[in-house]
Amino acid sequence: MIKAVLIFNQLGKPRLVQFYEPVSTPVQQAILREIHSLVSKRADTLCNFLEGTRSIGGADARIVYRHYATLYFVFVADQSESELGILDVIQLFVESLDRVFENVCELDLIFHFDEVHYILSEVVSAGMVVETSLVEIGRAVDEARRHAKPDSDYARTGFYSLRRGFVQ
Amino acid sequence: MAPMKGLTVFVADVRKCKSWRASVDRARLMAQKPSLNGYNRKKYVCKLIYMSLLGYDVHFGHKEAVELANSTKYSEKQIGYLAVSLLLMEGSGFMRAVVAALRRDLHDADECSACLALSAVTNVATREIAETLTEDIVMLLLSSSASMFVKKKAALCLLRLLRRFPEVVNARQWAARVVPYIGHRDLGVTLSVVSLVTALVQQHPDETRKAAGLAVRRLKSLLVDGEHSIDYVYYRVPAPWLQVKLLRLLQYFPAPDSAEMRGMLTGILRRIIDQSQDATRELQQMNAQYAVLFEALSLGIHLDADQALLRESAALLGRFITSRETNVRYLGLEAMAHLAAYIDDVSALKQYQGVIIQSLRDRDTSVRRRALDLLYSMCDVDSSRTIVGELLRHMALADTALREEMALKVAILTEKFATEYAWYVDVMMRLVSLAGDHMGDEVWHRIVQVVLGNEELQLYACKIALQTLRAPVCHESAFKVSAYVLGEFSHLIANAADSAPIDQLKALQTKMASASPAARAVALTTIAKFINLFPEIKTLCLRVLDRFRGALDVELQQRACEYYALATVESEDLLPTVFEEMPPFPERQSALMSRLLGKDADTEDQRTWVLGTRDAKAERSTQPPPPPLPEKQQSQPGGGDGAAEPPAPAPAPAPEEPEQVTRGRRHYARLLWESDGILHDGDEMQVGVVAQYKPPAGRIGVFLGNKAAAAICDIAIEARSSEDALEIRLAADQTPPAALVPLAQARVFFDVVCRDVFGAAPTLRVTYSLAGEPAELELQLPVTAMHFMDPVTIAVGDFFARWKQLGDAGIGEAQEVFRTPFLATDGGAGPWLRSVVGGMGFALINGADPAPDNIVAVGIASTEAAGRFGCLMRVEPKPSHGLTRVTVRATSGALAAAVAANMGTIFACR
């Protein structure tokens, strides 16, 4: 199971912090700092996996990360997940962010953190991967956007979802 | 998610702000306004979320978040639920209101709202939610009207609740109905359901038995038939994530019974392996492909069906661990460790040993760690020396984080695969000196335990301990081990050169000055034990103790005072009783292993394999666990005549017999040159012997110990000599015990008198009954003509004159050549040999023989009726040939033969 998803920049500033187990905020921040100190020292040619330190979950936890431009995307998972699989999921997550924001950059994540959370919830839920199709993720996000429009009313969306169900 | 200008400004402000405390206060002020409209409330809660992201513990504004969640507007609801899942902690008073909102939204006709609610449930997942909403969520998953969108979220939502509150969700009722969804046409739903089923399989295996077949079919349709939507192709690999999940799920099941299924599964695995052989340039595709491949290899190892497949896997992994791609190297090593933990024959992996050892030097610490795991996992008796040696070499260079684990693993491997005692002691001492700072007390405790438990080890360990103390630098852990070992067994080396009690004490004292209080405490105990062992240095020891009576450290002071008092009390028995030799430690799982394995949380996915489980697995497969003893027998340990008790367990099976005999023989051999020790160590009865000789007479104490769980009764003990030349009888005031309760010990003394040189050792017969079953022990007592010998020292020059004299006289000579291969391999064998000869009752004449390795010795045997016999012995070890020549010349042929025969027994049992 995926225990946490973290996004932070090279300086260690958090951009997204999502834990899938109840963890208090100070501990979350401590973990984030620790992972940042571990990850930021590593050269890009090294592998994308690290063993968890004691506070993160011990030797059973795996820190899987990817480094994109200024950002680090970090997934903390236990042994029941495939490391390479998680690496793929990170790539998938970033690609879906890219689709939604059209060339995602750090500022997008800062000013639309709510949306980033929503996209993440379409990819990972309860520490498990929900969806791996970019098309499906994109569709879900579009739908949520349409719903959230101030002028949207329930009659129309209700009709839309009916039709959608029918077509499928 | 429409842009909120205020929020954007706020975020920008906070980012610019040096101390954002001011911003927090501003947000707080806003909340105190009497009423917020929806938009402002949303903006306010967003700010709170942002602040919590930055690490500020947001304890306020929860009410606003809950209100948003209860709103009818989708956009407000979205923010509300996000805030609830990020900010609210379990036990919050607002939870009730949240649950109400969740329940309403779960049943909302609009699936987007339902999804929001499901996401929130997964994130919040309190007990209250589990209790009230589980049923609704199960309905969502199983109902035909719910869309795919909702179903996949519902599945994971259930998984979350199941993990947190397995006792509340009552999975037994719906587990069987969820399983068929593995075959669902929508891959998203399948994926989520497979995750859920993986957890269910571990908790309710009976309800989910069908899952294995469904998973295999699903894999087949995905891989072989190509039934999948184009959306799920990730860099040309069809739904890699789902493949991985399915392969993982199958690892929780045993290999399928039906041949058809097995064939299908092997076909799938083969296909995955074949596909990965195509060289791909693109990194992402390779990643996805390897993710599937590694999982497939794990499954192949788990099924253990096709040896050819495993061999192929080993070859494939061999390629991976030399890959230029660090990720592949890392995973290759990990998968190989898995393989090594399962295959019976690690020789296929041996050829990569060099590469793996190289990987210990990899630039990447993660890779180094995996290499260490792999080496640990693949180590066996043959490769243990190389691997342990390499690990020790790397210890000095390894990063500190890795060092502790490395030390632990070296300790375990050394103990597990040591074939020679000297090697064990050398490695462990080096280990504590090298890595002492990085490991817990378990390691040095364990060394002491092992030394206590193995008599053969003690002499050598003592020597090394003294050496360690004399080394210029001595690590604290090494100091503790050395001090402890010396305290227990220093008498073994007290006669050797430079190891007199006084020397030992000096060595200890020198290092004590710079040791930590904990180490000094150990050393104080050692000094107290010295008082018991060596009365000649009592005053010196007392002086040291006296000095520490005023120590600042409470522990030290207490120990010093107590030991001082013990040593000065006017009682002859007190000190020997208190400082009696420590008994061997009971065998149980080594603390090292438990430390390494740690413990697993129970509701998370269990690991499908554990490092270094090969032996455990082998044991499982070769011998079924012994049936538990009948409870009755254990519950009445002191039961009288045993009439009502069930019969004792069947006698040991035949194959164990020879092993028992050789062990018995070994005990006997040791007692030929040592005055006390164990003679017989059975499951029920232990027999020990203590001998004291005053040639031509002697007194043999026989100790009987009850090791069984029940009382041993009807004990009769009898010693008999087959020759008249030796008289053996029960000592005058002795009455043998009739019964022994469990763990009790009794002793009986026998008097022996040697009338003339005799050839055969007397026999000891012990009959007893355990739990109504009569049993009998017949043992050879280690009493030979040689035992009635006193050492005699003669001038160095005289030895060969006498030797020649005796040889010319031709009265009695025995010469034998023994195979002694251990002389070459074991550094401690030379000194051992000397102590054997010394222990046999000879005086060693040092410097008489021109060859320094040769041993020449003199003794005189006394008999009551036939007078005294001189005996000379010459031992010529040739380590290079693995042979030793022993020549004995005596004034009695029978004596020479007896001595030579004893030497033979001792060598054979070494």
Query: DSSP state, A131?
Result: -
Query: DSSP state, B711?
Result: -
A114 CB neighbours in chain B (<8 A) are 1, 46, 49, 78-79, 82
Q: Which pLDDT score is estimated for B660? A: 58
pLDDT band, very low/low/confident/very high, at B647 (cuts 50, 70, 90):
very low
Q: Which pLDDT score is estimated for B164? A: 87
**Is the minimum CB–CB distance between A117 and chain B shorter than 8 Å?**
yes
Mean pLDDT of B478-497: 86
The A residues from 48 to 77 touching B (CB cutoff 8 Å) are 48-51, 53, 58-60
pLDDT above 70: percentage of residues in chain B: 87
pLDDT above 90: percentage of residues in chain B: 1
Q: Which pLDDT score is estimated for B595? A: 63
Q: What is the pLDDT of residues B368-379, one digit of tens each?
A: 888 888 888 888
Preceding peptide of B696 cis, ω within 30°: yes
A157 CB neighbours in chain B (<8 A) are 110, 112
CB atoms within 10 A of CB B37: 8
What value, to the nearest 5°, has the Cα angle with vertex A55 and ends A53 and A58? 45
Q: Which pLDDT score is estimated for B29? A: 62
Alpha-carbon dihedral sign for residues B61, B66, B72, B76: positive
> How many Cβ pairs closer than 8 A exist between chain A and B?
206
Q: Of B80-89, B90-99, B113-122, B609-618, which gets the smallest average pLDDT?
A: B609-618
Q: Of the candidates A90, A56, A96, A60, which has an alpha carbon nearest to the alpha carbon of residue A72?
A: A90
Alpha-carbon dihedral sign for residues A12, A13, A17, A19: positive
Mean pLDDT of B206-230: 84
CB contact under 8 A, A140 and B149: yes
> Does residue A22 carry a pLDDT above 70?
yes
A32 CB neighbours in chain B (<8 A) are 55
> Does residue B390 carry a pLDDT above 80?
yes
* Residue in B54, B232, B405 nearest the CB of A14: B54
The residue count of chain B comes to: 910
CB contact under 8 A, B191 and A15: no
pLDDT band, very low/low/confident/very high, at B645 (cuts 50, 70, 90):
very low
Q: Which pLDDT score is estimated for A168? A: 30
Chain B residue with CA closest to A58: the answer is B598
pLDDT band, very low/low/confident/very high, at B203 (cuts 50, 70, 90):
confident
pLDDT band, very low/low/confident/very high, at A7 (cuts 50, 70, 90):
very high
> Does residue B641 carry a pLDDT above 80?
no
Q: Of the candidates B461, B520, B506, which has an alpha carbon nearest to the alpha carbon of residue B486?
A: B461
> Does residue B141 carry a pLDDT above 90?
no
**Is the minimum CB–CB distance between A41 and chain B shorter than 8 Å?**
no
Mean pLDDT of B495-505: 84
CB contact under 8 A, A1 and B231: no
Q: Which pLDDT score is estimated for B732? A: 77
Q: Residue B668 in 3-state DSSP?
A: helix
**Is the minimum CB–CB distance between A144 and chain B shorter than 8 Å?**
yes
- How many angstroms separate the CA of residue B364 from the nearest CA in chain A? 6
Q: How far apart are CA B693 and CA B675, in angstroms?
A: 9
- How many angstroms separate the CA of residue A39 from the nearest CA in chain B? 12
Of B327, B400, B595, B596, which to mutate for an interface test with A (greatest number of A Cβ within 10 Å)? B327
pLDDT band, very low/low/confident/very high, at B635 (cuts 50, 70, 90):
very low
> Does residue B903 carry a pLDDT above 60?
yes
B331 CB neighbours in chain A (<8 A) are 83-84
Task: Report CA-CA distances (Å) from B587 to B172, B454, B597.
Answer: 41, 12, 18
Q: What is the pLDDT of residues B550-587, one digit of tens each?
A: 888 888 899 999 988 888 887 777 878 888 877 777 66
* Token pair recorded at residue B905: 């027994």
User: Per DSSP, what are the bridge partners of residue B78?
Assistant: none
CB contact under 8 A, B607 and A79: yes
CB contact under 8 A, B327 and A88: no
Q: How far apart are CA B205 and CA B211, in angstroms?
A: 10
Q: Which pLDDT score is estimated for A76? A: 92
Q: Which pLDDT score is estimated for B17? A: 61
Q: Which pLDDT score is estimated for B279? A: 63
> Does residue A21 carry a pLDDT above 90?
no
Tell which wins on pLDDT, A143 or B616.
A143
- How many angstroms separate the CA of residue A74 from the nearest CA in chain B? 15
Q: Which pLDDT score is estimated for A6? A: 93
* Residue in B8, B191, B600 nearest the CB of A132: B191
> Does residue B189 carry a pLDDT above 70?
yes
CB atoms within 10 A of CB B562: 15
Q: Which pLDDT score is estimated for A72? A: 93
B600 CB neighbours in chain A (<8 A) are 60
> Does residue A88 carry a pLDDT above 90?
no
CB contact under 8 A, B112 and A87: no
Q: What is the pLDDT of residues B743-758, one digit of tens each?
A: 777 888 888 888 888 8
Q: Residue B634 in 3-state DSSP?
A: helix
B405 CB neighbours in chain A (<8 A) are 59
CB contact under 8 A, A82 and B294: yes
B187 CB neighbours in chain A (<8 A) are 132-133
* Residue in A26, A84, A114 nearest the CB of B82: A114
Question: Which residues have CB under 8 Å from B258's CB, separation 6+?
Answer: none
> Does residue B348 carry a pLDDT above 80?
no
Question: Which residues have CB under 8 Å from B366's CB, separation 6+?
Answer: A46, A47, A49, A50, A51, B330
Q: Which pLDDT score is estimated for B623? A: 37
Q: Please tell me whether the interface predicted TM-score (ipTM) of this complex is above 0.90.
A: no
Q: Which pLDDT score is estimated for A44? A: 83
Strands (E), B657-711: 676-681, 685-694, 697-706
* Token pair recorded at residue B663: 């062990």
- How many angstroms separate the CA of residue B597 from the nearest CA in chain A? 10
pLDDT band, very low/low/confident/very high, at B893 (cuts 50, 70, 90):
confident
Tell which wins on pLDDT, B2 or B684.
B684
Q: Which pLDDT score is estimated for B35? A: 63
> Does residue A75 carry a pLDDT above 90?
yes
Mean pLDDT of B208-215: 87
Q: Of A65-74, A109-118, B346-355, which gets the smallest average pLDDT?
A: B346-355
pLDDT band, very low/low/confident/very high, at B267 (cuts 50, 70, 90):
confident
**Is the minimum CB–CB distance between A1 and chain B shorter than 8 Å?**
yes
Mean pLDDT of B804-821: 80
* Residue in B147, B239, B367 nearest the CB of A165: B147
> Does residue B621 carry a pLDDT above 60?
no
Q: What is the pLDDT of residues A89-138, one digit of tens each?
A: 999 899 999 888 888 888 888 888 888 998 998 899 888 888 888 888 88
* Token pair recorded at residue B447: 């060394």
Of B604, B607, B610, which to mutate for an interface test with A (greatest number of A Cβ within 10 Å)? B604
Chain B residue with CA closest to A27: the answer is B55
Q: What is the pLDDT of residues B11-36, one digit of tens each?
A: 776 666 655 566 666 666 665 555 66
Q: Of the candidates A28, A69, A65, which has an alpha carbon nearest to the alpha carbon of residue B366?
A: A65
A83-101 vs A134-148: helix axis angle to the nearest 10?
40
Q: Which pLDDT score is estimated for B283? A: 76
Quick check: B36 and B43 in contact, CB under 8 A?
Answer: no
Q: Which pLDDT score is estimated for B300? A: 83
- How many angstroms separate the CA of residue B117 from the nearest CA in chain A? 12
The mean of the pLDDT values for chain B is: 79
How far from the centroid of its chain's Cα atoms is residue B853's Cα?
Answer: 40
Q: What is the pLDDT of residues B67-102, one digit of tens each?
A: 888 888 888 888 888 888 888 777 777 888 888 888
Q: What radius of gyration do chain A's Cα atoms show?
A: 17
pTM over the 0.80 mark: no
